[in-house]
Every structure is written in C-alpha cells, then in structure tokens.
Structure 1
Amino acid sequence: MTVLVLRALGLGDALAGVAALRGVRRAWPGHRVVLAAPQPIGQWLADHGVVDAVLPTRGLSQLPWPWAGPGGAQDAPGCLAVNLHGRGPQSHRVLQATRPDALVAFDNTEAGHIGPDWDETEHEVLRWCRLVQSVGGHCGPEDLRLGPSDPLSGRSEVGGQAEVIVHPGAAAEARRWPAARWTQVVVALTAQGHRVVLTGSEAERGLCARVRQGAGQGAAVRNAAGELGLPALAELVSTARLLVSGDTGVAHLATAYGTPSVTLFGPTPPSLWGPTIDLARHAVVWHGEPGAPPRDPNAGRLDPALAQIPVDEVVAACESALTQLPATANETTTPSWPDRPATRSAVPSPAPHAQA
C-alpha cells in the first residue's frame, strides 16, 4: 500500500508539516509514504527518512498517478491519500483524482468530503498533527526535530568562532524588514566580536550585498546568498551559533535543528507560525495585536507590525540568545501565546486506513 501525501508548498510549510508526516508513518507502518511536493524539498525530506519518495509537484497541478517512481515500478491505482496541503476544495480534488481507497483531509462540502473541522486560530504544526491524530497517527511538535538529541553540540567554528547567520530576505515584501535595519544589526553583532554570514536566495544576493557593504566590516561578514542549496543551507543552520531572520522558511530550519534563533514576525502572529519546541532557545519579536486576525503574509508592502520593530530590540534579543543558552536541549513545552488556542491532547489508538 502506498500513502500519497500532498504538501506542495515551500520550505517553511514543508518543515511545519514534518511532525504530521511522521504521524502518517506511525499510522500506517510498513507502507510506502510518497510526498507530492517540489523536488528539492521533497528529496531532502526523503534523504532524512521522513518520507520514502517524492512525487515532484508544483502547486495544485494534476498528479501523474499511477506513478512510476525511482525504481520504475508503477504504483497501483488505489492508494491512501492524505491532504496536508490545505482545507480544499482544490487540494482535495487533486487527490480525489488519483482514485484513492480513502482520503484523509479536513471537512469540505464542495469537495464532498467529511472530515475534522478546520480551525483558523490553530497553530500550523498542531493543525496538521490533529488531522493525522484523527486516524491514529501519534505525532506532536517534538517530531519536528531533524538533528541530534543535543543540538548544541558540534557547532561549526570559523577561525575559532562559530558564525551567526543573518537572513534578511523573505518571499514577500510584507515580511521583509528594511535592509538598513538589518545592516545595523550586523554592525552590532560584529562589534561584539561575532562573525556573520548572510544567507538568501540568488534573487536576494543583491540585498545581502547591500547589507554587507553598509556594515563595512570586511572579512567579519561574508555573503553566501545564492551559493547554498537546501542541504548546504540546512548544514550551515544546524551548526550555527545563532540564526536571525524574518518569518520565513529558514527560521523553521532553526527549529528543526535546535539552533538558537531570533525571528521577526509581522503580518502573521507567532501563535500561528512561531516555534513550538525548545522555547528557551527561540526568541520571537512581534509588535502585532494579540487576538487580531492575521494579515496577508504575501502582500506587496511592508507590514505595519514588522515596521514597528526597532533595531535595538532585535540587537537585545540577539545578545540574550548569545549569552544565555539554556542548559538542556530537550524542552518541548508548547508555547502559551496570549492568543494561542488550547492544545489538543487526545491521540486515538492506531486505526486501519479503511476507517479514514
């Protein structure tokens, strides 16, 4: 039996779904888990053993199913389908078109599917864990980890000192803190003796170059934007001293590897997308209004809540993270954000897929 899982989204979304993916494997042990996702992200998760294979997918395009995977053998028409992509109906229909034996997904009348209710106020990690828990897949935030049990060990050293990663970019303008402020953060970090590496996509190489040039710190700051594929970026984050970034995919790498981090939030509150494990090592900076609905994270202008974050607050958060590391790497308490919904705790016993 194949379990076909749809989550054809970006890096941050993929990492937020790792816990649920592990729940899928526990619900159907011995079955092959195929993830429909962008090739680089899906293959990276397969290399980590989170899934068995990746069906390269962009967005909500039709899935080629039955599918001849890496071994060449074509999957049977029937499969178990799990929608970790969205609430439907489009994503439901993409999976329904594969003629699955059963579909695990949130309730959607338009797609003719009955399932658990969608909760707009639920944290992204907890939402998908709840869906998988509804069919017997035990999972929780602690399953987000990809690194060792003691993530503070083995931090890489550059010239005798571990690097601090500063990631100034984001996919949308709404989540991009101004470059001039990032420059001031880099200046403060190097003034304290830290070596800084700037990361980003190829499209963000110019942004990182401006930040580096503005900081004027020479060899103390290097620009690695556009030079790192996902495996290399993950390795860098896993061994860094600290990651400082906006609310974007790289922040979830810090969660996965237990790397201390400072994350700046804007349109989306941390109650929906913030860290849920190792809370003593992950600081969030947010000037939004608790309880207010999130704004468009893909808007084309700087979000007001992000614009309100001052440089000195970010620098202070970095100083705290760099000087007050927690004694243990195993804290898994779920955060108590002011506007966070109650945690779901009931996990049903494993059930066969026919009941999904």
Structure 2
Amino acid sequence: MKPSLPAQPNHIAILRLSALGDVCNLVPTVRALQRQWPQARITWIIGKGEHSLLTGLSGVEFVVYDKTTGIKGMRALWRELSDTRFDVLLHMQQAIRASILSLGLKADARIGFDKARAKDKQHLFTQHHIAPRAQAHVVESFMDFARRLGVEDDSLAWELPVPESAYDEAGLIGSDAPYMVINPCSNPRLRNFRNWSAEGYASVIEHAWVQHGLKSVLTGGGTTAEKEMGERIEALCQPGSVINAIGGTSLKGLLALIDHARVAIAPDTGPAHMANALGTPTLGLYATSNPQRAAPYLWRDFAVNAYPDAVRTYLHKSVDDLPWGQRVRHPDAMNLIKTETVIAKLDALLAHTANSTNAGQGTLDES
C-alpha cells in the first residue's frame, strides 16, 4: 500500500547533489517549503562543490556526499543518517547514483519526478510523483515538488548567503568602476559544446567598454581550457577593458563579484543561475540547449536563442519534433550565435534595467 504524504511534515529531506546551476534553481522551492512549514527541519543531501556554494543557507541542514568516494561514501552517509527518519524525501536528482543513494535513506514517503521527466528510471525509486507538466523550466520542475506537498505560495525568493569575506575577496579582483561579469566557459564535460568564441566575447567586451563604460571581469574555474580561453579573450581586448579573474575566486567570491556587477554574461552554466539568484541582470547564450528550459529564469526574455537554428542545422528537425530538454551535441553549434545579436541583447538588457533595482523576487510561470 502506498504511504500517504504528510499534511504537515516535521522533517523534510531533499536529495539533489548537483550541479551548481540546478542547486541555485532549487533554492526557491526550499524557501516555499519554509514559508509553508516554518518549524519543519529541512535536510539537504548535496554534492561537495555545491555545498561550498550554498553553505550558510538559512534554515537548512546540509549532509555532503562527495561522488568521487563512490559506494564507500554512500555507506558513510547511510551510517551518518542511520538514526534519522524523514517524513518525506524529495528525490530531485535524475541519476542512477542518486537513486541508489536514496535506498539507504529512511523516509515514510518519497516523491520523485513524473515518468515523462524521470531519467534513469528514477520514478521506480519513489512512491509519489509530481504532476506531469510539458515543457517546464527547471525552476518550475523543482517547485512542482513543493506543490505536490500542498504548498500554494510559489513566489520566488533566494536570499543566497554571501559572507563579508567573499566581498573582501571580490574587491581584490574586481573593479572600482562599473563592470560586467563574463563567465565564458561551461563545465568541461564530454561532448558539452556550450562555449562561445573568444572573438565573440572580445567584441562584446569592446562594445561594453566603448558604448557603456563597462569594464569586463572574466571568471571561471582553474582548468587549463578555461585559463586558455581567458588568455585568448584578454589578448583580443583593449588594455584596461578587461580583468582576467579566471581561476582566481572561490565560489563565494564569485557570488560577491556577480552581486556587484551591472550585468552577467554566460553560456548554459552555473554562474548564469548564480547571477539570476542574486537578481543581477543576466544574458544567457544558448544554442546547444533550450533556453525555455534552462535559461536564467528571471531573464529568459534576454537570452540569446540559437537553439532552433542548431536543431535545424545539425539535427534536421524542428524544436517541436524533439523530446523536451534534448541537447544539440555538435562542436559548431555555438558558432550560430552572432556577435551583433549578443550586443543587441546586451543593449536591451542594460536599457531595461537602467532605472530599476535587481529582480530578486518573482512569480513562477504557470504556462
């Protein structure tokens, strides 16, 4: 017999290990749960790097799982939580590793994705499922878990913790003048193909510098590929127009840099959603993934969308013919993004936000 969902849960578990952008997109769901049941404990089982980004999130107890530790780490986590029983487990990671990890957690009821959205047979590891929703943004999919529990107030709030030490760190790297953050590279994974060109970024940097008086701060991790990209961009730019901080910040320091930026530009990668969570105007660059599903949620209207062109060019189909969320895994897809399109979107975004405060609150799109 399927267990019933609690009307008023006392202890809620969230299982979402990765990635940086996804955990940022999940925070509004946490805030919705907290508004509905302010006395409930929330335990979030999260990845190591993702925890370093969200550490200090108010009202949340984190349990960290390092995926590099494999089954040994799972067993250690199971022992750590062996005396803990949750009223409900929100299984929000569509990966077989996470589903195996969930088997060692004690919960009276488990909620997962509906069958259409569940990857790696995730729906088989839960008794309850969120309501089906076609063509949902990631933020909306996560909020459906709160709705499944009975939450009605789905207004958006993040309130990401950024300690003073992070602002001190950002001050050592950033600019005293108005600046924009450009995070040019996505996570270096096999067949990712989400990065735009150094030449394109350099042209946008020149436009921002000449037309808007904005310096650009390049950010990213310390991988060889990211550092090489930063060096190529910097070599193409006017002296004084760009600060290369790639590999030079912690994740909290990156948050602080983004928080004080006039605008952020990035492809489909975590810092785009970090900027969105902070209310910083964000321009996302999309060709290999669908921005209707994955763009910075509050700034979807300003995303550069070459995805339909990429689908036609490399898959010989239309977007409507594809499963929702399918990527275009072709190394030339991001070249379909034109520099003049990015510049036009940047101008529009700067004009739109010239006399407004950051949009740190919002309402979910129910369409």
Same topology, TM > 0.5? yes
CA shift, 1:202, in A, is 0.5
Alpha-carbon contact 2:206-2:241 (below 8 Å) kept: no
1:234 aligns with 2:255: yes
Q: Which runs of 5+ in 1 are unaligned?
A: 69-73, 149-154, 336-341, 344-356
Q: Which runs of 5+ in 2 are unaligned?
A: 1-9, 115-121, 163-169, 309-318
Alignment correspondent of 1:64: 76
Greater share of residues in helix: 2
Alignment correspondent of 1:322: 350
> Pairwise CA RMSD of aligned residues?
3.2
For residues 159 and 106 of structure 1, what CA distance do their matches in structure 2 show?
43
Alpha-carbon contact 1:46-1:52 (below 8 Å) kept: no
1:166 aligns with 2:187: no
CA shift, 1:158, in A, is 6.6
1:162-205 CA distances to partner (integer Å, 9 max, x unpaired)? 11111111125421112221122222222233211111110111
Alignment correspondent of 2:83: 76
Alpha-carbon contact 1:16-1:124 (below 8 Å) kept: yes
Instruction: Figure out how many residues of one structure are paired with residues of the other and give that number.
Output: 320
Alignment correspondent of 2:218: 198
CA shift, 1:295, in A, is 6.4
1:13 aligns with 2:13: no
For residues 47 and 290 of structure 2, what CA distance do their matches in structure 1 show?
26
The 1:32–1:64 alpha-carbon spacing in structure 2 relative to 1, beyond 3 Å, is farther
For residues 185 and 104 of structure 2, what CA distance do their matches in structure 1 show?
37
Alignment correspondent of 2:7: none
1:131 aligns with 2:139: no
Which residue type is aligned with residue 81 of structure 1?
A: L
For residues 25 and 97 of structure 2, what CA distance do their matches in structure 1 show?
21
For residues 27 and 114 of structure 1, what CA distance do their matches in structure 2 show?
20
Alignment correspondent of 2:241: 220
For residues 105 and 126 of structure 1, what CA distance do their matches in structure 2 show?
14
CA shift, 1:136, in A, is 2.3
For residues 245 and 56 of structure 2, what CA distance do their matches in structure 1 show?
24
Could you tell which deviates more after superposition, 326-335 or 254-263? 326-335
CA shift, 1:240, in A, is 0.3
CA shift, 1:224, in A, is 0.2
Secondary structure in structure 2 of the residue aligned to 1:209: helix
Alignment correspondent of 1:140: 154
Alpha-carbon contact 1:180-1:211 (below 8 Å) kept: yes
The 1:232–1:241 alpha-carbon spacing in structure 2 relative to 1, beyond 3 Å, is same
For residues 3 and 159 of structure 1, what CA distance do their matches in structure 2 show?
42
1:189 aligns with 2:230: no
Higher relative contact order, structure no. (Cα contacts within 8 Å, ≥ 6 residues apart): 1
CA shift, 1:122, in A, is 1.4
Alpha-carbon contact 1:23-1:139 (below 8 Å) kept: yes
1:332 aligns with 2:357: no
For residues 256 and 30 of structure 2, what CA distance do their matches in structure 1 show?
22
Alignment correspondent of 1:265: 286
For residues 201 and 225 of structure 1, what CA distance do their matches in structure 2 show?
6
Secondary structure in structure 2 of the residue aligned to 1:174: coil
For residues 277 and 141 of structure 1, what CA distance do their matches in structure 2 show?
12
Alpha-carbon contact 2:293-2:325 (below 8 Å) kept: no
CA shift, 1:235, in A, is 0.4
CA shift, 1:109, in A, is 5.7
**Matched residues, percent identical?**
21
Alpha-carbon contact 1:251-1:261 (below 8 Å) kept: yes
The 1:94–1:146 alpha-carbon spacing in structure 2 relative to 1, beyond 3 Å, is same
Which residue type is aligned with residue 222 of structure 2?
A: E
Which residue type is aligned with residue 216 of structure 2?
A: V
For residues 364 and 105 of structure 2, what CA distance do their matches in structure 1 show?
36
For residues 181 and 77 of structure 2, what CA distance do their matches in structure 1 show?
41
Alignment correspondent of 1:209: 231
For residues 59 and 152 of structure 2, what CA distance do their matches in structure 1 show?
15
For residues 90 and 41 of structure 1, what CA distance do their matches in structure 2 show?
16
The 1:109–1:66 alpha-carbon spacing in structure 2 relative to 1, beyond 3 Å, is closer
Which residue type is aligned with residue 208 of structure 1?
A: G
For residues 91 and 302 of structure 1, what CA distance do their matches in structure 2 show?
29
